Structures are given as C-alpha cells and as structure tokens.
Structure 1
Amino acid sequence: MLLEGKNAVIYGAAGMIGRAVASAFAREGAVVHLAGRTPATLREVAERIRAAGGTAHTAQVDALDAAQIDAHADTVAATAGSLDVSINLIAHGDVQGTPLAEIPLEDFERPVHTAVRTTFLTARAAARHMIRQRSGVILMFGGDGDPLPGQHLGGLQVAFTAMEALRRSLACELGPHGVRVLTLQTGGIPEVIPPEFAERAAITDSIVTRTLLGRAATLEDVGNVAAFAASDLARSMTATKLNITCGAEVD
C-alpha cells in the first residue's frame, strides 16, 4: 500500500472531493484524520472508511481559525506520532455567474480570503511538525489557469492563482527540510455539480469539450492522484502542480 504508516489530515473531509481523497488515502493504508465543521457528516465519512477496513478519526475544526488548526495539528502529531500529509479541501464559498464589472466586492473577495487564509493556516500548522520530522507532503487543490470567454468565475480563479504563489513559496522554504508541496489541478469535476442545478448539463459539456481526452477527471481520479502525490513514489516531485485536467490545460 502506498501510504502505509502515514498520518494524513484532510480538511473539508465531508465534502465530495474530501471524501474521495480520504477514501483513497485510507485504501492505501494511511490513518486519516478527518477535519471539518460538521461532526455528523464527518462521522458518516469515517464510518464508510472503517467499514471498508480503513482507520479514520474525526475532529470538529474551523479552518479559518488559527488556534483550532494549530491545536488539531499538534494533537495529531502528539497522539499519532507524526503528521505526514496535509491537504486542504474546504469549500471557498465562491459566487459564480456574475461578471467582474458587476459583482459585489464581498462576493469577489470571499473565495480569495477563504482560500488564502485556510491554505496558509493549514500548511503552516503541518509544516511546523514536518520540519521537525524532516519529511512530509502538503497538497493543495486548484491550480492557476486562463479563464475562458463566458466564464464568470468571480474571485475563484484569483484565489487559485494566489494559492499557487503560496505553494511556490512554501516549496522553496520547506524543500531543504525534506517537505514536498504540490497542487492537484483539475479542469472541473462534473460529479460535484448538484443534480438540481439548472445549468449542470451545459457546464459539464463545457468542461468535457475543453479536454483532449474527451472526458473530465472523476472524483476517483482525484483520489488516486492525491494518493500517488502523497506517497514515496512521488518523492522527487515538489514545487509543481499535477495536471489532471484530461488535457484541458496544456503545459
């Protein structure tokens, strides 16, 4: 198993992407520490992981709260013996569909504030332990890219680009301590679009038609790539993004 003996913290573990990543980590042998704001949904994820033979722990944590983030990371490192993988998958609260010339300031800056603050806080908390261990992997989710005509993403792409700047700086500073920092980039995951959303079909079509493979990345794809990135098989990879856009983003 790729992650046997590793302790992985997943923030936003109750979301669809968080569940996929947590399940993949547990399948590959990691002890997963599920963090989020809603205990009931975290317990559901943990129960499914345990039913499949994995090991999962839950904790109510607000990723916008520095004290809570630090205390949880300290507890994981102290009780489990290490903190080996950290990934932030919380929702950014973005507002899409409104042109930038018309969007209210608070709607524009909400995802930027949330993404940068939570990514910094969760990475900082993990880094303090990983530096001491001289090993560890910090994963981010998003990736910068060019917007397309007709896409009114508000502050979301700005938030992703800011996260990439943070990822580069973290990788540069933490590399000498044996800590790797990577971004998982998709071109959109149709499975996370609510079925009742009126424009679901149109958005799915726009995601798929941009790809070179004629399909979009799935939640399972994201989980599998995250497990690989966190494993020693990817030990030579840092300061970069893993392109899982099915060719929508050409490097």
Structure 2
Amino acid sequence: MLLDGKNAIIYGGGTVGTAVASAFVREGARVFLVGRTLATLEKAAERIGGNVAIAQVDALDERQVNAHTDAVVEQAGSIDISMNVITDTDIQGTPMVEMTLADYISPLITAVSSKFLTSCAAARHMIKQKSGVIMAFGGSVERSPLMHDYNFGGMEVTFDAVESMRRQLAVELGRYGIRVLTLRTSGLVESIPLDYENREMIVESFKKGTLTGRTASLEDVGNVAAFAASDWARTITGTEINMTCGTAVD
C-alpha cells in the first residue's frame, strides 16, 4: 500500500476531503479528518470506514489548529501528510465591478489564513522529523478558457495567492525533506450542488474546455492525492500536479 504507516491530517469533511481520506485509508494511512461541523464529519467517517478519526477544529483558529496538531503527534507519533481542502467561501456569478470588497476578498482571507495556519502547524513537526508532505487543492486558473465565460469573483486571485504561498513553503521547507504540492483540476462536477443555478451550463463548459471531453472525478482526486503523498512521488515538490484533462496545457 502506498501510504502504509503514514499519518495524515485532512482539513475539510466535504466532498473533496472525504474522497481524499477514503483513498488515503485504502492505501494504509491513518487519517485524522477535521472540520467545523461534527455532523458532517460523522457522515464522512461512515462513508470512509477504516482507520479514520474525526475532530471538530476550526482551520481559521490558530489555537485550535496548533492544539489538534500537537495532539495528533502525541497520539500517533508523527504527521506525514497535511492537506487543507476547506471551503474558501467564494462568491461567484456577480461581475467584479458589482461586488462589495468584503465579498471579493472573502475567499482570499479564508484560504490564505487557513492554509498558513495548517501548513505552519504541520511543518513545525515535519521539520523535526525531516520529512512530510503538505498539499493544497485548486491551482492557478489564468490559462483556463472558463475565465472568459463566468464571473468568478475573487477565486482567481485566491488561487494565485495560495500558489505563491506554496512556492515559498516549498523553497523554505525543502531542505528539511518536506514536499509542498498543489492538486489542480479544471472543476469538479460532483462538487456542484444539483440545484445550483446554471449547473448544466457550467458542467458542459467544464467538459468542453478539456482535451478528453471529461473532467476529473472525486475518485481521480483521491487517487492522485494518494500517489502525490506517497514515496513514489518523492521527486515532486514545489509545483502543481495538473489534473485538468488538458484544460491547462503546460
């Protein structure tokens, strides 16, 4: 198994967090799944099964994040993987010039703050053990044709900010054997609520922008995340893993 004996903290018990946690458990990892809503975490744990523990932690609360991270290390002995996939509270569908400042920068504040806190909390322990993997989900979207079709609010600037943080962390932590990566997709159809306005149009646009006529599934995300977190990917750091099915061609 790719992650046998590894300990992973995943922040966010929604669709992506559950998919990644399921893949990690399947590959032998011990997963600590955390989020703000206990009921959501309990449902996720039921779907995942296996070696998963849940805890109510606000990824925007420095004290809570640090206390939980310390507790995991005390209990499990190490933190080998940290991945933050909490919701960034972005608002889409409104032209930028019609948005309030608060709505536009909301995802930026949430994403940068939470990823700073969770990454630093894990890194402090990973530095001591001289190993570890820190992963984000999203990636830059400036080359995507979708940006010409929809009003994405502060999403693009948020992704760019997180990528800047990822590059900085990769450079500063690489000397300690810590890898820092981003998993990038062109959009997850399964994450769009069935009653979301213009859902079908968005889904078709996602598919149309790819070279393969399909987008990454949640299962794909889990599988690639498990590979990226494993020693099989030990040479990959400081970069995005492109899962856009050709939407972004490097």
Using the size of structure 1 for normalisation, the TM-score is 0.97
- Partner residue of 2:87 out of 91, 109, 114: 91
Rounded Cα–Cα distance in structure 2 between residues aligned with 1:123 and 1:219: 23
Rounded Cα–Cα distance in structure 2 between residues aligned with 1:29 and 1:94: 34
Q: Which runs of 5+ in 2 are unaligned?
A: none
Q: How far did residue 46 of structure 1 move?
A: 1.6
Deviates more, 1:89-98 or 1:40-49: 40-49
Q: How far did residue 145 of structure 1 move?
A: 2.1
Partner of 2:223 in structure 1?
224
Rounded Cα–Cα distance in structure 2 between residues aligned with 1:55 and 1:49: 9
Rounded Cα–Cα distance in structure 2 between residues aligned with 1:49 and 1:225: 17
Given that 2:62 and 2:117 are in contact with CA atoms closer than 8 Å, whether structure 1 keeps it comes out as: yes
Partner of 1:185 in structure 2?
184
Q: How far did residue 199 of structure 1 move?
A: 0.6
Partner of 1:167 in structure 2?
166
Partner of 2:5 in structure 1?
5
Given that 2:18 and 2:48 are in contact with CA atoms closer than 8 Å, whether structure 1 keeps it comes out as: no
Count residues with an aligned counterpart. 247
Code of the residue aligned with 1:11 in structure 2: it is Y
Partner of 2:20 in structure 1?
21
2:96 aligns to what SS in structure 1?
coil
RMSD over aligned Cα atoms: 0.8
Matches of residues 116-195 of structure 1 in structure 2 within 5 Å? 116-146=112-142, 148-195=147-194
- Cα deviation 1:25-73 (Å, max 9, x = unaligned): 00100000010011122122223322xxx20111100000001001111
2:52 aligns to what SS in structure 1?
strand
**2:242 is equivalent to residue 243 of structure 1:** yes
**2:62 is equivalent to residue 100 of structure 1:** no
Rounded Cα–Cα distance in structure 2 between residues aligned with 1:48 and 1:201: 27
1:183 aligns to what SS in structure 2?
strand
Rounded Cα–Cα distance in structure 2 between residues aligned with 1:171 and 1:198: 38
Code of the residue aligned with 1:63 in structure 2: it is A
Q: Which runs of 5+ in 1 are unaligned?
A: none
Given that 2:14 and 2:44 are in contact with CA atoms closer than 8 Å, whether structure 1 keeps it comes out as: no
Rounded Cα–Cα distance in structure 2 between residues aligned with 1:128 and 1:249: 34
Matches of residues 41-60 of structure 1 in structure 2 within 5 Å? 41-50=40-49, 54-60=50-56
Code of the residue aligned with 1:248 in structure 2: it is T
